[in-house]
Structure 1
Amino acid sequence: MYLDSQGIRIRRFWRVLRRVPISALLGMVVILIYLFLAVFGGLIAPYAESAIVGDQYAPWTAQHLFGTDQLGRDMLSRLIFGARNSIGIALATTVLSFSIGGGLGLLAALLGGWIDQLTSRLIDVLMAIPQLIFALMLLSIFGSSAVNLVIIIAILDSTRVYRLTRAVAMNIVLMDYVEAARLQGERILWITTREILPNILPPLVAEFGLRFCFVFLTISSLSFLGLGIQPPTADWGSMVRENATLINYGDITPLLPALAISVLTVAVNFVVDWLLHKSSGLKE
């Protein structure tokens, strides 16, 4: 009986997988490869993250497939370790951003009144300031540690999550089944987790992918400007800045971390587009 149920689940999985468009499948494969590198990068990389293993700006050879950087560190190893650092920090920031913005958005939609007005006006003030400039200012004041980077970007990015969560939750709060749960004396946490959250999950999942892309690009931009992930930690944004001088000599090595950023961003957007299309209910 157990084997039969497992077989049914497997057949259903393959049936769903066959309906997924090629672009989304390609995006999923790329994301899985990046996640594999992020988790097992320490076992795959030929050299340590900060080890100086050759001359400065050494050319591509069999020993150093992508050459070395300005200090003589292996570029391939730095790229692999950069996956762990860049993706890990971006993912942690996005999760914290959704926890803050999503929680406040649900609370504002459910309680309304002065709580809704106060949080909405505060969010309007934060959104009126350009995010990158505000992040640069705050990081200059509090320092560019990884913890500060995650907290500051998460708070700034949570404003977008708040607006979306509040907007979709407001439509659900007015439904009869939510009002019935209130009249039955159910607690706010129960109503939120059982009645509201399951009905707004599809757009939030799609938004999570988009927010991850924006956070990922923001952190890379800050690292390129010198206020993101600090050396000697490998990060794709800072790797572009550190090796940018090679472009003057026709060397494409600085473009490799930029390409890694672009490929991951496009792959996530492929999957997000499919999720948005699937949640919309459209057949074509």
Structure 2
Amino acid sequence: MRLREIPITAWVGLFGIALVVFCALFAPLIAPYGETEVVGGVWQAGDSQFFFGLDNLGRDILSRLIYGTRTTLFVALAATVISFSLGIILSFTAAVSGGLVDTVFSRFNDLMMSIPTLIFALVVLAVLPQYLFVLILVMAVLDSTRVYRLGRAVALDVAVMEFVEAAKLRGEGKTWIIFREILPNTLSPLLAEFGLRFAFAILFLSTLSFLGLGIQPPTADWGGMVKDNKDGIIFGIPAALVPGGAIAALCICVNLVVDWLLKRTSSLKGGRGDA
């Protein structure tokens, strides 16, 4: 693949993701002030010293935005990886096994999907201790139901193909068939779904933090920053718009990259088929 073949939209997405990752890795080194350090007056306007101004407690918004990338990115990525691992393993197992296993897994998944995700998360998080790993697991389990639905659909399409039947006739086990036969041939839609699920995890985490059941203060995260400064909008203070814009920008960047990767993998498949 040549660099000049990458479209400008993908470059924009890659740059945005790289910037967020850089901020997450080196937050203590590049942030002008500490994560919880009070440096001035409440909702002070932006100037040469405080680029985005100060928040509702007099903390530097830029510094908290940088620190917030670490929390937001880690939680969203961890939840997405766990949800994908759980959803793909269960869905592929159901598709390969069929029969009672497929029925039990699918009906339980339908039951979980029938419950509104946000309401279910709010109820569970209100009961369980508010630890970071609990938040990640709740997000992952709820999101894995969506992954299961797609994974089972694509796995059923591949499971009936001749090379899978040949593997079964050779005596290959279910693990071999799942990871060596089905998974490599379903990467294109799964890759697109991973990007969408990651963007959804960012939005879902921000929603939970805004409602008070996500990342707990004083730890900085983008959804919590919107919640802390939402009252300023009434007085024309844009402090809540900065983290809100960061959430939107990251989701757009992720979707731009996923869209490019999906088109690229699809074109490669078409090229191999034509040859």
- The alpha carbon displacement at 1:48 in A equals 1.4
CA RMSD, Structure 1 to Structure 2 (Å): 1.5
Name the counterpart of 2:86. 100
Aligned residue for 2:152, secondary structure, equals helix
CA distance in 2, matches of 1:75, 1:35: 18
Q: Aligned partner of 1:106: which letter?
A: F
Picking from 210, 215, 219, the partner of 2:201 is 215
Name the counterpart of 1:7. none
CA distance in 1, matches of 2:111, 2:173: 31
Name the counterpart of 2:96. 110
CA distance in 1, matches of 2:109, 2:130: 24
Q: Aligned partner of 2:113: which letter?
A: M
- The alpha carbon displacement at 1:59 in A equals 2.4
- The alpha carbon displacement at 1:177 in A equals 1.4
Matched, 1:234 2:207: no
Aligned residue for 2:63, secondary structure, equals helix
Aligned residues: 269
User: TM-score scaled to structure 1, two decimals?
Assistant: 0.91
- The alpha carbon displacement at 1:56 in A equals 2.3
Q: Aligned partner of 1:56: which letter?
A: V
Once the two structures are superposed, residues 237-275 of structure 1 have per-residue CA deviations (whole angstroms, 9 ceiling, x without a partner) of 110111112212212121000000000111111112222
Picking from 129, 140, 143, the partner of 1:157 is 143
Aligned residue for 1:205, secondary structure, equals helix
CA distance in 2, matches of 1:191, 1:24: 34
Once the two structures are superposed, residues 23-54 of structure 1 have per-residue CA deviations (whole angstroms, 9 ceiling, x without a partner) of 12211111111111111112110111112222
- Tell me if the contact between 2:43 and 2:237 (Cα under 8 Å) persists in the aligned partners: no
Matched, 1:202 2:188: yes
Larger CA deviation: 21-30 vs 230-239: 21-30
Q: Aligned partner of 1:100: which letter?
A: L
Runs of 4+ in structure 1 deviating by more than 6 angstroms, as ranges, are none
CA distance in 2, matches of 1:252, 1:55: 15
Name the counterpart of 2:47. 61
Once the two structures are superposed, residues 111-134 of structure 1 have per-residue CA deviations (whole angstroms, 9 ceiling, x without a partner) of 111110000000001111111111
- Tell me if the contact between 1:24 and 1:274 (Cα under 8 Å) persists in the aligned partners: yes
Name the counterpart of 1:130. 116
Name the counterpart of 1:143. 129
Once the two structures are superposed, residues 128-156 of structure 1 have per-residue CA deviations (whole angstroms, 9 ceiling, x without a partner) of 11111111111111133211111111101
- Tell me if the contact between 2:83 and 2:144 (Cα under 8 Å) persists in the aligned partners: yes
Matched, 1:243 2:229: yes
User: TM-score scaled to structure 2, two decimals?
Assistant: 0.94
- The alpha carbon displacement at 1:187 in A equals 2.2
Name the counterpart of 1:38. 24
Q: Aligned partner of 1:243: which letter?
A: N
Name the counterpart of 2:244. 258
Percent of matched pairs sharing the same residue:
52
- Tell me if the contact between 1:203 and 1:279 (Cα under 8 Å) persists in the aligned partners: no
Once the two structures are superposed, residues 84-123 of structure 1 have per-residue CA deviations (whole angstroms, 9 ceiling, x without a partner) of 1111100000000001111101111111111100000000
CA distance in 2, matches of 1:92, 1:172: 28
- Tell me if the contact between 1:51 and 1:73 (Cα under 8 Å) persists in the aligned partners: yes
CA distance in 2, matches of 1:176, 1:65: 61
- The alpha carbon displacement at 1:58 in A equals 2.4
